[in-house]
Amino acid sequence: MSLRSVQGADLKGKKVFLRVDFNVPLKEDGNVSDNTRILKALPTIEYLLEEGAAVVIASHLGRPKGKVVDALRLTGVAKELEKLLNRPVKKMNDCIGEDVAKAKEELQSGEILMLENLRFHLDETDNIMNFAKELAQHCDFFVEDAFGCVHRAHASTQGIAHFLPAYAGLLVKNEVGALKAVFQNPHKPLVMIMGGAKIDTKIGVVRNFLHKADTFLIGGGLGNTFLNAKGFNVGESLCEHDKASLAQDIMLEAEKYNERIVLPHDVKVASEAREDAEVIDLPIQDVEGDMKIFDLGKITTQRFVDIIEYAGTVIWNGPLGLFEMKPFEDGTRVVAEAVAKTKATTIIGGGDTLEALARFGVSEKDFDHVSTGGGAMLEFLEGKVLPGLAVLSR
């Protein structure tokens, strides 16, 4: 896939509708508590301004489901952006309407206008063309820089491209470039680390890489589902019992390609998820009764680390245990540290995975690529056509 880059557009004196992903956590007072996603968008915003464009910024925040929710207004986000850019950001109280149209029409080169939460309107997620047309009003170009949203066919990610020339921002361009390299010529061995809770979000990636990857390291709730499919008792652990046949099919298919799906050999169990839980590390075949698996065991963790050490490329999405609690953090923490130290090309993604890195003090700078879109990253690796990227294709 080759994308039209905004770096090839003549922006001087033009008005750009810039879709970003400023879906950031807020404090109770409405101010931003973690500005990572805003920082990631700065290179594109600064480029547009340097090239002489006027910039209309649009984003969603949370899931208001078409209703105005004061706690999900972008006012605090606009303040944070203003501080980071050290220049004024005019914030609107809506993303469409007469006041917005007038503000866009009057916007001058070098100025920034931030629209209100797009998802205060159901027309955004329903991809209604009249809504997309109104978003595009008084703008000359559409620039997509919200990689975390490109797997959604929404008005601001796909519909608007019917009314404006569409280009990829710098963040989207970098995301696609890093992920494309995995398909085209990955350094071998290619190791896929898959965790998290649900098999449905990972199944497509596993299948798409059955003939590409050398090893799959599987843990978390996803690992429990595979263990259950192999006939092991997982007690009362998080497990999708109804997906056993699906997991069995994957393991059988993997054998055709001589792929190694590595599942936990031993696990950490407890009766409840508590900070003061009494934890036992035992072989998977000894799990029984009301035991609950919350983490990888020490032997499995070391096995994962040994495989990572000799990898050429590592792709990781999803935690390997209940890392939010101290008694169950070791598996995810030790693996995170191993991936950070390896000489392999490393690509990680997923909100929970990034949350784990922050908890353990592992710097994103220790990885070759940190994706801003967990779901979009997975669907891209699954080989799907993402609507928000399709409109940017040459």
Q: Which residues are catalytic?
A: 37, 198, 351, 375
Helix H segments across the chain?
36-50, 75-85, 98-106, 122-125, 129-136, 170-184, 200-208, 220-229, 244-256, 298-309, 330-341, 351-360, 374-382, 387-390
CA 206 to chain centre: 17
Contact at 8 Å (CB) between 301 and 324? Answer: no
**Residue 92 in 3-state DSSP?**
coil
Q: Which residues fall within 8 angstroms of residue 234, CB to CB, at 6 or more apart?
A: 224, 227, 228, 287, 293
Contact at 8 Å (CB) between 124 and 154? Answer: yes
Whole-angstrom Cα Rg for the chain: 23
- Cα(144)–Cα(390) distance, integer angstroms: 11
Helix H segments across 257-293?
none
Q: Tokens 């950070």, residue?
A: 340
Q: Which residues fall within 8 angstroms of residue 151, CB to CB, at 6 or more apart?
A: 373, 375, 376, 379, 380, 384, 386, 387, 388
Contact at 8 Å (CB) between 43 and 101? Answer: no
